[in-house]
């Protein structure tokens, strides 16, 4: 024989020789077999069909395969068992072990083939038949599985109840509800009323539309377990569904008398009062349920998400959120839920504070970190953007948004070098997110402008516009910076005109377009556009007022120009040019 048995590199011929040698060494102790091997695994043929030496070699090879199986070397074990079958194709244990391995590997058809062969070779082995029944069920051969369990009842009567339950489930899958009910009733006669059997029968009666059967089972459960409030709740729910609200209310009251702190009774009463149109009582019961620590937080989250979809009443929503938080003050899900509602209602600072509590309790959830970073951005919390961003970076160093947020924080702090470093890292990581990447390049265009690197500034703006040709902020800022430098003014005009045509009431965009026209020397056109900017809120911005004054000066209206400059100077946050004070002192326009 030239075939090898796996990594041992030993032929079956060697095992034959080993067997001959073993028979000559009568006093030698047999090899130890692991006590963890189940008895059915070790089954061998009662009467050997081979010479003793060959049979010993087969048995030894099978033991090698079992050892490989125990150490989870499934590939080697499989090859060894197939080697056994190459000598003895009627070796039932080898077929059984091959079936088990194939089942683990997801090769269900081959698992079934070898399971059938094992059972047919050893039809009285209950373990083989049980394994075969499970495979039949997995392969959706339900009638074959049913027949197997019927045989198992004869072969293994001590586990008859287990097999009957399996047969009940199979009959249900085969749409034989009456046979399923027959088996369940038989089990109930033997062992008495049980929740498991009754609930299975209730599900069948529901499918059959038999209300009397459902009611009978629920009342039977109440008689058997009179101190369990759950069954009164179930009967109450059923009475609501079948149009018996008064009986339902009595059922719920009985449940409350048994367990006044049961939150599920409160939820049942919520539905009861809702059907009656009693909103006040409904809300009272809902709050009682939500503030109860016994009601699982996941159930509460599901309730609130449903309410969010059907209700716009903020006052009641926050009353319920407060109830949940009172029961779970340190539960991340409760805090995140509250924060999500605050964010939805534009209460950004409160949302941010609760998101911070969430990450302090559980810092593993990226979506919570993302929400925290975004709320910092919404309130322009520069310290939070940097500090929370760096905390998120420790946990999620692969997320480009984190680098973007930190870079934005430094941008707002006017630390342009640090902003540039983080935004460049964001750009390197955001290749798969074109929307974020466009925003990053747009911001880098701003940063490099302030750093005086106009080549990199222009390059980043162009990259942003390649990704998002209608990115109005990038178009606006790029055209404004070109105008400041008096470069490519025709291109700047085209971009700013494109923006204002689509945003005709945006004072910032109108101001930029007016400034481009101003730099082109088209002062009268610039004045028309700038006065539109003032009309649409530009009077609240110092830089717009200052530039309006510049345009007025160039059109000859010098007194009004001085007036606008003084208005800009008087603003608490000027945001104006370095020449503003000198313009007022000299009563003269100064600029490039």
pLDDT tens-digit profile of 432-452? 999 999 999 999 999 999 999
User: Which residue would you say has higher pLDDT here, 308 or 206?
Assistant: 206
Token pair in block for residue 226: 């009179």
Whole-angstrom Cα distance, residue 190 to residue 305? 45
Instruction: Compute, in degrees rounded to 10, the torsion defined by CA atoms 287, 288, 289, 290.
Output: 50
The pLDDT score that the predictor gives to residue 361 is 97
Q: Taking 80 as the threshold, does the pLDDT of residue 354 lie above it?
A: yes
Average pLDDT across the chain, whole number: 90
Q: What is the DSSP letter of 4?
A: B
The pLDDT score that the predictor gives to residue 200 is 92
The pLDDT score that the predictor gives to residue 14 is 32
> Of the ranges 21-30, 440-449, 523-532, which one carries the lowest mean pLDDT score?
21-30
pLDDT in tens, 450-475: 999 999 999 999 999 999 999 999 99
Instruction: Compute, in degrees rounded to 10, the torsion defined by CA atoms 367, 372, 377, 380.
Output: 180
The pLDDT score that the predictor gives to residue 313 is 63
pLDDT in tens, 488-521: 999 999 999 999 999 999 999 999 999 999 999 9
pLDDT band for position 571 (cuts 50, 70, 90): confident
pLDDT in tens, 110-120: 999 999 999 99
> Of the ranges 123-132, 256-265, 308-317, which one carries the lowest mean pLDDT score?
308-317
Closest to 202 in 3D by CA, of 238, 166, 239: 238
Whole-angstrom Cα distance, residue 549 to residue 511? 12
Q: Taking 60 as the threshold, does the pLDDT of residue 4 lie above it?
A: no
pLDDT in tens, 209-223: 999 999 999 999 999
pLDDT band for position 387 (cuts 50, 70, 90): very high
Looking at the whole model, is its pTM more than 0.85? Answer: no
Mean pLDDT, rounded, for 236-259: 95
Share of the chain above pLDDT 90, in %: 85
Q: What is the DSSP letter of 11?
A: B
pLDDT in tens, 328-353: 999 999 999 999 999 999 999 999 99
The pLDDT score that the predictor gives to residue 312 is 55
Closest to 122 in 3D by CA, of 91, 86, 146: 91
Whole-angstrom Cα distance, residue 113 to residue 134? 13
Long-range contacts, stretch 457-462, CB < 8 angstroms, 24+ apart: 457/481
Q: Which residue has the tokens 């069920």?
A: 137
**What residues form DSSP beta bridges with 11?**
4
* C-alpha distances in Å from residue 571, one per residue of 483, 538, 563, 567, 583: 25, 13, 13, 7, 16
The pLDDT score that the predictor gives to residue 22 is 34
Q: For the chain, what is the largest distance between any 2 Cα atoms, rounded to a whole number of angstroms?
A: 125
pLDDT in tens, 404-427: 999 999 999 999 999 999 999 999
Q: Which residue has the tokens 């539309």?
A: 209
Token pair in block for residue 371: 């929400």
Mean pLDDT, rounded, for 14-37: 32
Q: Taking 60 as the threshold, does the pLDDT of residue 479 lie above it?
A: yes
């Amino acid at each position: 024989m030239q075939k090898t048995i796996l990594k041992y590199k030993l032929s079956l011929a060697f095992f034959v020789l080993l067997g001959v040698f073993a028979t000559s060494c009568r006093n030698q102790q047999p090899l130890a077999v692991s006590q963890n091997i189940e008895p059915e695994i070790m089954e061998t043929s009662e009467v050997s069909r081979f010479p003793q030496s060959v049979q010993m070699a087969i048995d030894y090879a099978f033991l090698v395969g079992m050892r490989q199986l125990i150490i989870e070397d499934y590939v080697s074990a499989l090859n060894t068992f197939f080697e056994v079958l190459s000598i003895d194709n009627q070796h039932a244990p080898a077929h059984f072990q091959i079936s088990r391995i194939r089942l683990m590997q997801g090769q269900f058809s081959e698992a079934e083939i070898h399971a059938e062969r094992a059972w047919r070779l050893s039809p009285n082995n209950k373990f083989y038949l049980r394994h075969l029944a499970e495979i039949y069920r997995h392969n959706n051969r339900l009638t074959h599985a049913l027949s197997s369990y019927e045989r198992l009842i004869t072969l293994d009567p001590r586990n008859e109840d287990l097999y009957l339950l399996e047969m009940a489930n199979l009959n249900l899958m085969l749409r034989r509800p009456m046979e399923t009910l027959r088996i369940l009733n038989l089990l109930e006669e033997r062992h008495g009323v049980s929740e498991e059997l009754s609930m299975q029968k209730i599900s069948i009666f529901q499918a059959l539309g038999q209300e009397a059967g459902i009611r009978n089972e629920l009342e039977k459960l109440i008689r058997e377990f009179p101190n369990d409030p759950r069954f009164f709740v179930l009967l109450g729910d059923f009475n609501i569904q079948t149009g018996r609200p008064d009986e339902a209310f009595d059922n719920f009251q009985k449940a409350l008398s048994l367990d006044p702190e049961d939150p599920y009774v409160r939820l049942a009463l919520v539905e009861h009062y809702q059907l009656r149109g009693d909103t006040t009582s409904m809300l009272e019961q809902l709050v009682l349920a939500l503030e109860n620590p016994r009601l699982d937080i996941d159930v509460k989250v599901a309730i609130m998400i449903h309410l969010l979809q059907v209700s716009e009443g903020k006052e009641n929503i926050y009353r319920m959120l407060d109830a949940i938080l009172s029961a779970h003050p340190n539960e991340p899900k409760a805090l995140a839920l509250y924060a999500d509602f605050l964010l939805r209602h534009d209460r950004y600072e409160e949302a941010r504070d609760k998101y911070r509590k969430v990450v302090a309790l559980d810092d593993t959830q990226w979506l919570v970190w993302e929400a925290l970073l975004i709320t910092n951005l919404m309130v322009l919390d520069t310290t939070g953007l940097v500090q929370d961003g760096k905390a998120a970076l420790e946990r999620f160093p692969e997320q480009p948004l984190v680098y973007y947020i930190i870079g934005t924080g430094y941008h707002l702090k006017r630390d342009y070098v640090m902003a540039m470093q983080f935004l460049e890292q964001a750009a390197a990581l955001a290749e798969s997110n074109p929307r974020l990447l466009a925003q990053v390049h747009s911001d880098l265009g701003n940063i490099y402008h302030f750093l005086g690197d106009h080549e990199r500034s222009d390059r980043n703006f162009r990259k942003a516009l390649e990704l998002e040709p209608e990115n109005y902020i990038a178009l606006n800022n790029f055209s404004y910076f070109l105008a400041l430098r008096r470069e490519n003014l025709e291109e700047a005009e085209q971009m700013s005109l494109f923006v204002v045509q689509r945003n005709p009431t945006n004072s910032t965009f109108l101001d930029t377009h007016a400034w481009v026209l101003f730099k082109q020397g088209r002062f009268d056109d610039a004045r028309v556009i700038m006065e539109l900017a003032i009309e649409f809120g530009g009077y609240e911005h110092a830089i717009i007022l200052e530039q309006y004054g510049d345009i007025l000066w160039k059109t000859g209206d010098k007194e009004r120009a001085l007036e606008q400059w003084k208005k800009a100077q008087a603003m608490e946050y000027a945001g104006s040019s370095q020449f503003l004070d000198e313009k007022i002192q000299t009563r003269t326009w100064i600029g490039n």
